[in-house]
Amino acid sequence: MRADPLSITFATLADPTRRAILSRLSSGQATVNELAQPFALSLPAISKHLKVLERAGLISRGRNAQWRPCRLKASPLKAVADWVEEYRRFWEASFDRLDEYLRELQSPEKTQAAPKGGPPRRRHRIAAPARTRPRRA
Amino acid sequence: MAADTNLAGQTSASEIVITRVFDAPRALVFKAWTEPAHLKRWWAPEGFTTPHYTVDLRPGGRMHYCMRSPEGSDYWGLGTFREIVVPERLVYIDSFADAQGNPVPPAHYGISASHPAETLVTVTFTERAGRTTLTLRYAVPATVPERDMAAQGWNQMLDKLAGLLARA
């Protein structure tokens, strides 16, 4: 249920060897042998990491059976960046509202501004300043 | 202006860090973040309302809220508290929910599958000279086997990721 693409990307990146592999690939394609060199890892161990990266769509492997060079695929990383941007904007706006609200709470001429916790059933009692609705006190 | 914002500084590529200074004491800012009567006044996006908000402020407790769009569509959300230090720190897992408080996948609201089902939110409040610095961290918790490693290696990973993105 939680296997959304972004979580898969993060989980895949949550391994130092795989991150190092991606780092290496960001400067150009490489073969499995080339990738294995900097690590004290066996080829099968590297292959396992490559499979994880491939499944997550972070690398692609060439068709050439002998070399099968690995290449970085950046689009899942782009999804990460997009997600960040979307949430940044959301929280920026939320903090603008909180800031305004805190000012209102502390403003001396509006001492009534601090709402008290009301009764639990207040379905439609909404603080919508733009509209005037009948209020249940 | 009462509020300063630092949005650029520390944010990495997959964890959002937003810092904002509010011209209000910490106890008040913390209350504004944890009491339904206050939350209803600022939580929902512009044009939205917050017809429902409940908060059970204890570890394992939940905040359950409804944001109503201008068209009248309801978006329910759920936060499950991991850690509470009054009035300093809040850690909770945030997800979409239904009206009964069950978590639902983002697709339930027609939100893209690339959106994470759960996010880990850490809010810290520090006070200095009557002003409060609020720092919010928003991250995708790794829900698959490498969870612990993800938590430990998060920042390092994000640095690398940022580097990758810059070159991609």
To the nearest 10°, report the CA torsion of B90, B95, B98, B103.
-100
A65 with A81, same domain? no
Task: Give which of A19, A82, A11 is closest to B118, Cα–Cα.
Answer: A11
A24 with A56, same domain? yes
pLDDT of residue B32: 94
Beta bridge partners of A2: none
Average pLDDT over residues A84-112: 84
Q: How far is B43 from chain A (nearest CA, A)?
A: 6
**Cβ <8 Å between A100 and B42:** yes
**Last residue of one domain, picked from the residues A54, A73, A92:** A73
Tell me which residues of chain B, numbers 118 to 157, contact chain A at a CB-CB cutoff of 8 Å: 118-119, 134, 136, 138, 140, 142-147, 149-150, 153, 156-157
The domain that contains A59 carries what CATH number?
A: 1.10.10.10
pLDDT of residue B59: 95
Decide if A129 is inside a domain. no
Decide if A97 is inside a domain. yes
d(CA B145, CA A7): 12
Higher pLDDT, B142 or A24: A24
**Last residue of one domain, picked from the residues A73, A98, A120:** A73
Q: How far is A67 from chain B (nearest CA, A)?
A: 23
Structural domain count of chain A? 2
Any residues with CB less than 8 A from the CB of B76 and at least 6 apart, and which? B52, B64, B65, B66, B67, B96, B97, B98, B99, B101, B104
Chain B CB contacts of A106 under 8 Å are 23-24, 28
Amino acid at A46: I
Amino acid at B29: V
Tokens 């006044």 belong to B41
- ipTM associated with this complex: 0.74
pLDDT band at A110 (very low <50, low <70, confident <90, very high): low
Structural domain count of chain B? 1
Decide if A132 is inside a domain. no
Amino acid at B57: L
The domain that contains B142 carries what CATH number?
A: 3.30.530.20
Mean pLDDT for each consecutive 10-residue tract of chain B (168 residues)?
Answer: 35 65 94 94 89 96 95 95 96 94 88 76 94 86 40 42 44
Higher pLDDT, A120 or A106: A106
Decide if A121 is inside a domain. no
Give the structural domain span for B132. Answer: 4-167
**Cβ <8 Å between A94 and B45:** yes
pLDDT of residue B114: 65
To the nearest 10°, report the CA torsion of B62, A92, A10, A69.
170
What's B84's DSSP letter?
E
Decide if A135 is inside a domain. no
**B164 reaches A (C-beta below 8 A):** yes
In this structure, what are the phi and psi dihedrals at residue A16, rounded to the nearest 5 degrees? -60, -35
**A111 reaches B (C-beta below 8 A):** no
**Cβ <8 Å between B29 and A102:** yes
pLDDT band at A41 (very low <50, low <70, confident <90, very high): confident
Tell me which residues of chain A, numbers 49 to 108, contact chain B at a CB-CB cutoff of 8 Å: 72, 74, 77-84, 87-88, 90-103, 105-106
Q: Say which of B5, B20, B117 has its CB closest to residue A4.
A: B117
A23 with A68, same domain? yes
d(CA A28, CA A24): 7
- Dihedral sign for Cα atoms in the order B86, B89, B93, B94: positive
For residue B86, the SS3 value is coil
Average pLDDT over residues A82-95: 83
Decide if A88 is inside a domain. yes
For residue B156, the SS3 value is helix
A9 with A21, same domain? yes
Beta bridge partners of B93: B80, B120
Decide if A86 is inside a domain. yes
Is it the case that residue A40 has pLDDT exceeding 50? yes
Structure tokens at B154: 């998060």
A104 with A46, same domain? no
d(CA B65, CA B73): 13
A82 with A66, same domain? no
Do the Cβ atoms of B54 and A132 come closer than 8 Å? Answer: no
Task: Give which of A45, A42, A39, A77 is closest to A59, Cα–Cα.
Answer: A77
A58 with A100, same domain? no
Return mean pLDDT, chain A.
76
Q: To which H or E segment does residue A92 belong?
A: helix A75-106
Tokens 């973040």 belong to B33
Chain A nearest-CA residue for B12: A84
Give the structural domain span for A42. Answer: 5-73
